Amino acid sequence: MKLPVYVKWIFKMFIAFVLFVHFRPAYCERHYLQYVYTVTSSGPVYSAVALCDDIQISHYCDKTRIWIRDTDLSADDWRSGPLEPHESRDWFLNLLYTLTNCTNSKCPELHTLQRRTGCEVMKSLSGEVESQTAYDEYGFDGVEFIYLNINTMQWMANSLSAEEIKMKWDMNTGRIEYLRSYLNQCMTWLSTYNSTKSPPKIDMFAIEAHHDRRKLNLTCMATSFYPKEIKIDITLNGIKLESLYSTGVRPNHDNTFQIRTTVEINREDKDGLECHVTHSNQTLRTKWDGNCKNCPESSITHVIVFVTLAIVPAALFIILCVSRKKKVKNCNLVNIALTGVFNKSSGSDEEHPGQLEGMQQLNGSLTNQNTDTN
């Protein structure tokens, strides 16, 4: 019985999926060394930089016409590493003028020639080389133009206009042998090169979800790490949560990197949430402390504390003032009454109306205090 074509296709896809799940390579670190050249017909303008693991290690100074080192690689690294490709500034300009039919004094339109050459190595967490490759490719006016097939060491044209260049470069066996030696040296050096490593600093924080106050957006941020390769996950009781969004790896100002990943959780989930970060042969874990930055209960708590601290002293101050006022009033009444007593004891028959009034108010005040006490 002959199976339909779509059944065979589904079976093949299933086999491919099983092989991918069971035999996919382990997490690896990517390291590369590459030189990037750019030439434009306006001016003309020529620039060239060398990059190692996303860090610029040298550049070509168009004024002095020499390469200048930009980073503190060790003397051994510079000595054992491959030198800059020998193609000169004039070689790139001549190639640009050939492709555009322009001269060095006049070119009515803007054209751009780019080249990227170097090597790349994938290393396991134990430092073993898993795979390595090299490349040398050119682009013209933003389109892939021609590239070197590393296996056959032949140039491959991506457009009709590149065919003539391909035939010319294939005949230049001396340059092909130089590129073979240079790219092999690049891969050998990169396989043994150990870049300075910086472990990530990890922080977890949560904010209230805008669309649903019953949810929280929990973020794990890893920063200040180098090299660039990193893996970051948030788990709940050991189960990986699906990422809501991630910033991807971004550069810091000090040649290190940072990344953030965010998941959505229920507000009640306080325990069992962790961030797992794998970087340079080590896995780091950080637990979430359960705090939320902008949740309402946090704001209410702050308000209650503030109001309590403001009202209690004010209430105590008012009670103290009322108590003092009563004491002062009673003292004044006693003074008036005593003045009358002393006048009578001295033999004076005059009785001042204020003295009688003071005695009556004092009696009334004392009677009220006795009543309050009872």
Q: What is the CATH number of the domain that holds 139?
A: 3.30.500.10
Local structure of 69: helix, strand or coil: strand
- pLDDT (0 to 100) of residue 300: 45
DSSP for residue 226: B
Q: How far is residue 81's CA from residue 236's CA, in Å, rounded to a whole number?
A: 46
Pair 179, 222 in one domain: no
Q: How far is residue 27's CA from residue 279's CA, in Å, rounded to a whole number?
A: 10
Residue type, 26: A
- pLDDT (0 to 100) of residue 84: 86
Pair 58, 131 in one domain: yes
Give the end of a domain, one of 238, 270, 287: 287
Asked if the structure places residue 237 within a domain, the reply is: yes
With tokens 């870049």, the residue in question is: 195
CB 221 within 8 A of CB 230: no
Asked if the structure places residue 101 within a domain, the reply is: yes
Pair 100, 245 in one domain: no
Domain that holds residue 53: 27-192
pLDDT at residue 24 tops 70: no
- pLDDT (0 to 100) of residue 331: 47
Asked if the structure places residue 94 within a domain, the reply is: yes
Pair 38, 91 in one domain: yes
Give the end of a domain, one of 230, 258, 287: 287
Give the end of a domain, one of 287, 313, 331: 287
Asked if the structure places residue 326 within a domain, the reply is: no
Helix/strand number for the chain, H first, E second: 7, 17
Asked if the structure places residue 320 within a domain, the reply is: no
Arithmetic mean of pLDDT over the chain: 79
Mean pLDDT, range 128-132, rounded to an integer: 87
pLDDT at residue 209 tops 80: yes
Pair 188, 92 in one domain: yes
- pLDDT (0 to 100) of residue 366: 47
For 222, the token pair is 């890893």
What's the pTM value of the predicted model, to 2 decimals?
Answer: 0.59
Worst-scoring range by mean pLDDT, 76-85, 165-174, 203-212, 238-247? 76-85
Pair 136, 69 in one domain: yes
pLDDT at residue 313 tops 90: no
Pair 180, 73 in one domain: yes
Q: How far is residue 39's CA from residue 46's CA, in Å, rounded to a whole number?
A: 5
Domain count within the chain: 2
Q: How far is residue 251's CA from residue 114's CA, in Å, rounded to a whole number?
A: 24
Q: Cα separations (Å) of 355 from 232, 345, 350?
A: 90, 14, 10
- What are 245's strand-pairing partners? 262
Q: Listing from the earlier edge strand, what are the strands of the sheet with 55-61?
A: 66-69, 55-61, 45-52, 28-40, 112-124, 129-140, 143-149, 154-157
